[in-house]
C-alpha cells in the first residue's frame, strides 16, 4: 500500500530518518562487552585477548570516526563476528575497516534510507576493488552488515542486494590464488642457501644477529615451521628419542602453535629435527644465553620476544650479504617471480645497505617458501603424505597436497616427458627436424615454423653437448631443464630451459586438441602408444579424484560422469586399437624387436598385462 500524507510537513526529513536509525538500537547500548569495554564506548580495546606483540592494531576498534547513523549497527556486527562466529581479531579488524569505509560511502551519498541501497549502489562502492578475491571478501562483509540492518530496521528488504553479493567468480578466484601461491624455488638454490647459512652458523667471527639469522633460516627450512611458530620457540625444547635395540637416537622439537586454535589458546606440537636444525637450535641457545631474559630462543636486544618485522629484516640482511654468492638477480625469472624483492627505500633503517644503493633490488626467499620446498622435498624422497602432514602440522592431507602440488607436478612431468619423446628421433639423441618423420599433423605444422625450428635447435645442442638420450636419460633431462630443479645460471642452459618451457606449453595445447576424445577416424600407430598409455593413466588419476569428490558430494556427479564417458571413448577409439597392434607386433618381432623399434614402449612391456587389466576395468566401470 502507498503511504499518503496530508501535508508536505508530514514527509520525513533526512534528519528524522537518521534519528530513527540511531534510536533503534539505543535501548540496547548500555551493557558490558568485557570487563574493560562497554557497548556505548567509542573506543574498544581487547588487549586481554592479544596473542602476539606487534599486533595491537588488531585489538583496537575506534568508532569515533564512524558516522553515528550506522555506528551501532557496525558495533553489533563486530560483536557477532568476534563472540558468536569466533573469528580471529585480525580477521574481524579487516571486516571492521571494510564496514567503516562502507558507512562513510553511505554518508557521502546521503544514503539515510536503507531501502534505497541497491545492487547498483553497491557496485559503485566496489568499483575500485582490484582483485576478485578481495571483492569476494568485501561482499561477504557488506552482506553481514546489511543483515544486521535488516534484522533491526522494520520493512527493509535486501534480497536484490544479496543476489548481487552472492555472485562470486570462483574460477577467477582460483586463477588468482594459483598466481598468488608462494613459488617453488629451485632445489639447487635452496641447497646453496642452506650451505651459506651453515657456514655463517659456524663462523664465530660474525656478529650475533648475523649468525642468529642463519640459524633462523636453517630451522625454518629443515623443520618447515611457520614464522609465527619460530618466534615463539623456547629453549630446552629439543628432546632425544631412542628406539629399543637401536644405538642411535633422533630428536624432536616441541613448540607452540596458534594456527589451528582460537585466539589466546595454543597447543604444543612437535617436528622431527635434522642435524643441521639441531646445530642451529643449539647455536641460538648459546648466542643469546647472556642477553636472554625470557624463555624465547630468538630474542631482541631487550632479551624478550622478537617481532616478525625484525625477523624479516634479518632475513633480508642475510640475502643482501650473500647476494654475490647466490646471484638471485641473475636467476630471477620475471615470468615466474619466484623470489620476493625489496629495496633500502622500503627498509629505511637497513644500515647494512649503503645509501647509494637505495633502489637496488634485493631478492630473497620468504619464510613460507621454505615450507613449500620442504614438503616437496619430503614427497620426492618417498615419504608418505600422512608423515608429511604431521611433520608440517597440517590438519588435512588436502592442505599438504596443496603445498606439494602433487597433481600439478605429476601432470607437468607427464607433459614434459611426452613433449620430448613424441618429437624424438629413432635413436633418442635429438629432436626430429624433418616434418616427414612425424605422424602427428600438428607437430608437422610445428616443425615448419621458424620459431619452433629455433627451439628444436637449442634443445638439440643441449642434448648433444651433454650426451643425453631422450629415452634412457629422460628424468635427468627433465630435471635439468625444469626451472623448479635447476638454477639456470648460465645463459646457454637458461635459453634452452625457456625454449623447453615453450615447447611444453605448445605440447599441452596439442594434447588438448587431441583430447577431444578422438571422435574422428583414428589410424592406430605404435609410435603413439607410449603417450596414449601415459595419457590414459593421467586421465584415470583425475577421474579417481573426481570420483572421491562425487562420493562426498553428489553435486560433482556431472563432472565425474563426463570424464568417465570421455575416458571410455578414448580407450575404445584410441588406446585399445594400439594395444591390439602391439600384441600383433610382439608376435612378429618379440619384446627385443619392440624395444629396438619403439624405445618409448620399453618401460611398459613388463607390465602390459596389468595395463590391459586396468583398461578393461575402466571400460566396465559404472556410476
423-474 residue pLDDT tens: 888 888 999 888 888 767 778 888 888 888 888 888 888 888 888 888 888 8
d(CA 263, CA 87): 9
| Residue 410 vs residues 248, 298, 413, 480: alpha-carbon distances, Å | 36, 39, 5, 17
The secondary structure of residue 520, as a DSSP letter, is S
Could you give the dihedral angle defined by the CA atoms of residues 377, 406, 334 and 172, in that order, rounded to the nearest 10 degrees? -150
Q: How far is CA 2 from the centre of its chain?
A: 55
C-alpha 221/C-alpha 200 separation (Å) is 15
Residue 65 has, within 13 A of its CA and on its CB side, a CA count of 10
More confident residue, 404 or 540: 540
Contact assessment for residue 359 and residue 347, using Cβ atoms and an 8 Å cutoff: no
Per-residue pLDDT, 152: 84
Residues 6+ apart with CB under 8 A from 192: 325, 326, 487
- Cell matching residue 236: 630446552
Residues 19-54: b if buried by 16+ CB within 10 A, e if exposed? eebbeebeeeeeeebeeeeebeeeebebeeebbeee
- Which residue has better confidence, 25 or 368? 368
Q: What is the pLDDT of residue 24?
A: 55
Predicted local distance difference test score (pLDDT) of residue 264: 54
The single residue listed with the C-alpha cell 635459453 is 495
pLDDT band at residue 600 using 50, 70 and 90 as cut-offs: confident
Query: What average pLDDT does the segment 250-260 reach?
Result: 79
Strongest mean pLDDT among 102-116, 430-444, 600-614:
102-116
Q: Characterize 379-389 residue by residue with b for buried, 16 or more Cβ atoms within 10 angstroms of its Cβ, and e for exposed.
A: beeeeebeebb
* H helix runs in 255-307, sequence order: 275-287
What CA–CA distance (Å, rounded) separates 179 from 216? 27
Mean pLDDT computed over 189-216: 93
**b vs e for 192-215, b when ≥16 Cβ sit within 10 Å of the residue's Cβ?**
bbbebbbebbeeeebeeebbbbbb
Give the phi and the psi of residue 290 in degrees, each rounded to 5.
Answer: -85, -20
Q: What is the band of 100 on the pLDDT scale with cuts at 50, 70, 90?
A: very high
User: How far, rounded to the nearest angstrom, does the alpha carbon of residue 197 sit from its chain's CA centroid?
Assistant: 26
Q: Tell me which residue of 458, 492, 621 sits closest to 550, measured CA to CA.
A: 621
| Mean of all residue pLDDT scores within the chain | 80
pLDDT value, residue 234: 94
Residue 493: per-residue pLDDT: 58
Q: Is the pLDDT of residue 518 over 80?
A: no
Cα separation, 439 vs 427, in Å, equals: 17
Q: Does the pLDDT of residue 495 top 70, yes or no?
A: no
State the pLDDT at residue 384: 63
Amino acid at each position: 500500500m502507498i503511504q499518503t500524507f496530508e501535508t508536505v510537513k508530514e514527509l520525513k526529513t533526512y534528519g528524522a530518518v537518521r534519528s530513527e536509525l540511531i534510536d533503534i538500537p539505543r535501548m540496547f547500548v548500555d551493557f558490558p562487552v568485557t570487563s574493560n569495554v562497554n557497548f556505548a564506548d567509542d573506543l574498544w580495546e581487547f588487549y586481554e585477548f592479544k596473542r602476539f606483540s606487534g599486533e595491537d592494531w588488531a585489538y583496537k576498534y575506534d568508532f569515533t570516526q564512524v558516522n553515528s547513523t550506522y555506528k551501532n549497527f557496525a558495533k553489533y556486527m563486530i560483536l557477532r563476528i568476534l563472540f558468536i562466529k569466533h573469528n580471529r581479531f585480525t580477521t574481524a579488524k579487516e571486516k571492521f575497516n571494510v564496514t567503516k569505509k562502507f558507512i562513510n560511502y553511505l554518508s557521502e551519498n546521503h544514503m539515510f534510507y536503507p531501502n534505497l541501497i541497491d545492487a547498483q549502489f553497491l557496485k559503485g562502492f566496489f568499483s575500485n576493488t582490484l582483485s576478485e578475491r578481495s571483492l569476494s571478501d568485501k561482499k561477504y562483509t557488506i552482506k553481514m552488515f546489511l543483515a544486521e540492518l535488516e534484522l533491526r530496521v522494520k520493512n527493509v528488504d535486501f534480497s536484490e542486494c544479496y543476489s548481487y553479493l552472492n555472485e562470486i567468480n570462483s574460477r577467477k578466484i582460483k586463477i588468482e590464488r594459483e598466481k598468488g601461491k608462494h613459488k617453488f624455488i629451485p632445489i639447487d638454490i635452496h641447497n646453496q642457501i642452506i650451505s651459506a647459512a651453515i657456514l655463517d652458523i659456524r663462523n664465530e667471527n660474525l656478529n650475533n644477529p648475523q649468525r642468529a639469522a642463519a640459524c633462523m633460516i636453517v630451522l625454518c627450512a629443515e623443520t618447515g615451521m611457520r614464522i609465527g611458530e619460530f618466534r615463539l620457540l623456547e629453549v630446552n625444547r629439543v628432546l632425544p628419542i631412542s628406539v629399543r635395540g637401536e644405538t642411535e637416537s633422533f630428536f624432536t622439537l616441541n613448540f607452540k602453535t596458534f594456527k589451528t586454535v582460537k585466539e589466546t589458546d595454543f597447543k604444543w606440537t612437535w617436528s622431527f629435527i635434522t642435524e643441521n636444525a639441531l646445530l642451529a637450535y643449539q647455536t641460538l641457545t648459546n648466542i643469546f644465553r647472556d642477553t636472554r631474559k625470557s624463555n624465547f630462543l630468538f630474542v631482541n636486544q631487550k632479551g624478550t620476544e622478537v617481532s616478525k618485522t625484525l625477523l624479516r629484516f634479518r632475513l633480508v640482511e642475510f640475502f643482501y650479504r650473500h647476494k654475490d654468492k647466490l646471484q638471485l638477480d641473475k636467476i630471477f625469472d620475471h615470468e615466474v617471480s619466484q623470489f620476493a624483492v625489496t629495496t633500502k627505500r622500503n627498509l629505511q633503517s637497513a644500515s647494512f645497505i649503503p645509501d647509494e644503493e637505495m633502489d637496488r633490488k634485493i631478492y630473497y626467499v620468504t619464510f613460507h617458501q621454505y615450507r613449500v620446498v620442504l614438503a616437496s622435498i619430503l614427497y620426492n624422497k618417498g615419504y608418505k603424505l600422512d608423515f608429511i602432514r604431521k611433520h608440517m602440522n597440517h590438519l588435512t592431507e588436502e592442505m599438504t597436497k596443496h603445498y606439494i602440488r602433487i597433481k600439478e607436478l605429476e601432470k607437468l612431468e607427464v607433459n614434459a616427458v611426452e613433449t620430448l619423446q613424441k618429437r624424438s628421433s629413432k635413436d633418442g639423441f635429438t629432436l626430429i627436424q624433418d616434418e616427414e618423420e612425424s605422424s602427428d599433423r600438428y607437430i608437422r605444422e610445428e616443425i615448419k615454423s621458424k620459431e619452433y625450428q629455433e627451439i628444436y635447435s637449442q634443445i638439440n645442442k643441449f642434448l648433444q653437448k651433454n650426451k643425453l638420450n631422450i629415452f634412457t636419460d629422460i628424468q635427468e633431462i627433465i630435471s635439468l631443464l625444469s626451472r623448479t630443479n635447476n638454477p639456470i645460471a648460465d645463459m646457454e642452459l637458461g635459453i634452452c630451459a625457456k625454449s623447453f618451457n615453450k615447447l611444453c606449453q605448445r605440447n599441452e595445447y596439442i594434447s588438448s586438441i587431441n583430447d577431444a576424445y578422438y571422435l574422428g577416424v583414428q589410424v592406430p600407430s605404435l609410435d603413439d602408444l607410449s603417450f596414449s598409455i601415459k595419457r590414459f593413466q593421467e586421465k584415470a588419476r583425475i577421474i579417481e579424484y573426481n570420483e572421491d569428490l562425487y562420493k562426498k558430494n553428489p553435486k560433482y556427479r556431472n563432472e565425474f560422469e563426463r570424464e568417465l564417458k570421455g575416458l571410455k571413448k578414448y580407450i575404445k577409439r584410441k588406446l585399445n586399437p594400439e594395444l591390439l597392434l602391439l600384441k600383433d607386433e610382439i608376435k612378429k618381432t618379440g619384446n627385443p624387436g619392440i624395444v629396438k623399434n619403439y624405445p618409448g614402449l620399453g618401460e611398459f612391456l613388463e607390465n602390459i598385462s596389468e595395463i590391459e587389466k586396468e583398461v578393461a576395468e575402466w571400460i566396465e566401470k559404472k556410476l
